């Protein structure tokens, strides 16, 4: 079974995630927020805002706080268990 929805990245830097689905409801959005998996994934991808809309009048918004890109290389190595940048001698 598929879900007929539209997903977009919006904003000047494409850092806002928008999902429009006619069947989305407050209960579904609450469960997505409570579970946290989807919002965490969106945050890890660099999104600063997530919006869920029914395409009519209802919408639910979450503010996300992605990690700074200043030290992204060091963070990637840390997640891989390396901890420090490689030094070639």
pTM: 0.72
Q: Map tokens 């946290």 to a residue.
A: 36
Q: What is the pLDDT of residues 11-50, one digit of tens each?
A: 999 999 999 999 999 999 999 888 888 999 999 888 999 9
Q: Helix 37-44 vs helix 26-35: angle between axes, to the nearest 10 degrees?
A: 70
Domain ranges of the chain: 5-79
Integer Cα distance of 31 and 18 in angstroms: 17
Which residues are 19's β-sheet partners? 7, 52
């Amino acid at each position: 079974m598929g879900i007929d929805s539209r997903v977009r990245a919006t904003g000047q830097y494409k850092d806002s995630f928008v999902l429009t689905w006619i069947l989305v409801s407050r209960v579904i959005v609450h469960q997505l927020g409570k579970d946290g998996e989807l919002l965490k994934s969106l945050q890890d991808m660099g999104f600063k805002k997530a919006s869920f809309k029914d395409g009519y009048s209802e919408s639910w918004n979450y503010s996300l706080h992605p990690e700074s890109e200043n030290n992204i290389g060091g963070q990637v190595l840390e997640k891989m268990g390396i901890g420090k940048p490689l030094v070639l001698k």
